[in-house]
Amino acid sequence: MAQPLLSVSGVETYYGKIVALRGVDVEVNPGEIVTLIGANGAGKSTLMMTICGSPQARTGRILYDGTDITRMPTHEIMRLGIAQSPEGRRIFPRMTVLENLQMGAQLVAPEHFDSDLKRIYELFPRLKERASQRGGTLSGGEQQMLAIARALMGRPKLLLLDEPSLGLAPLIVKQIFEVIRELNKSEGLTVFLVEQNAFHALKLAHRAYVMVNGRITMSGTGAELLKRPEVRAAYLEGGAH
């Protein structure tokens, strides 16, 4: 296979003296949806943030598109074509939906803006209705759509999604995952998805990793992992809906 778009090798991350990641290896190939599942505190979000350079990895290497981004500051990493929809959505609550989307397009040449906005509104018609409303007045699902839409406005090659299903109704989760699948299929967008909602994430993903206590313990295709009894026992029993 071609060179992976993102390759994380032997990454260890510490919060002070506390180790959060103990030698993680993850690869994301162009055009793939890769998901990382795991329990609370396993280090999923830490890995996501380490990729973004905050905190930086103490050892190991992160390559993106052939560039070593391990020691780069966050804003420079994000300028290479990586976009992130952070955990907890983190939209700008007092700015309007449109302004939020403009913030996402900060680094993109202005001539793309109108066509990109139109495409986003097609993907998320709800955002068009709410364009002049404050971000903070949106419902949770709409805020999540806005967070993803804002990330997409940056025309990324790699989209990092940190728990997009957090606190959302199953129906909305389904809608959002549908949009991700659609983006991947029609535009070849590469997606790296961190999720607690293992069932949906595994169904969506081409490949998946399972993280326990800062280590990758299993990997395989989404369908494979869905069948594995230990995965079912740990993450799916009672959680499938």
Partner 1 sequence: MASDTTVPSASEMKPAGAQALREARSDAGGPPVKRYTLRDTLIDAVGAALLTGVLGFFFLALRTEIAPGGLDITTRWVLWFTAVAIVFVGRLLLNLFVFRTERPITRRLRRSSGGKVAVRPGWVSRAIAIALFAIAAFLPFLIMAIFPGQQRQLIDLSILILTYVMLGWGLNIVVGLAGLLDLGYVAFYAVGAYSFALLSTHFEFIGFWTALPLAGMLAAFWGLALGFPVLRLRGDYLAIVTLAFGEIIRVVLLNWYEVTGGPNGISGVPKPTFFGYEFTRGEDGASALLGLEYSTIHRFIYLYYIIFLLALLTNFVTMRLRKLPVGRAWEALREDEIACRSLGINTTNTKLTAFSIGAMFGGFAGSFFATRQGFISPESFTFLESAIILAIVVLGGLGSQIGVVVASVVMIGGIELLRNVGFLGNLLPGFDPVQYRMLIFGLAMVAIMVWKPRGLVTTRTPSAVLKEQKKIGADMVSQGEGH
- Contact present, 83 and 160 (Cβ < 8 Å): yes
Helix (H, G, I), strand (E, B) or coil at 86: coil
Contact characters 26-65, partner 1, x per CB under 8 A: --------------------------x-x-----------
Q: How far apart are CA 131 and CA 183, in angstroms?
A: 21
Nearest CA-CA partner of 80 in 176, 148, 154: 154
Residues of span 84-103 touching partner 1 by CB under 8 A: 84, 86, 90-96, 98-99, 102-103
- Nearest Cα to Cα of residue 116 among 102, 126, 130, 132: 102
Q: Is 79 in the site for partner 1 (CB under 8 A)?
A: yes
Region of 13-21, 60-68, 81-89, 208-216 interacting with partner 1 (CB under 8 A):
81-89
Q: Which of 41, 125, 167, 188 binds partner 1 (CB under 8 A)?
A: 125
Structure tokens at 76: 């420079």
Rounded CA-CA distance 111/241 in Å is 43
CB closer to partner 1, 75 vs 227? 75
Regarding 122 and contact with partner 1 (CB under 8 A), the answer is no
Q: What SS3 state is found at 87?
A: coil
150 belongs to the binding site for partner 1 (CB under 8 A): yes
- Give the interface with partner 1 as residue ranges (CB under 8 A): 52, 54, 73-76, 78-79, 83-84, 86, 90-96, 98-99, 102-104, 106-107, 125-126, 128-134, 136-137, 150-151, 154
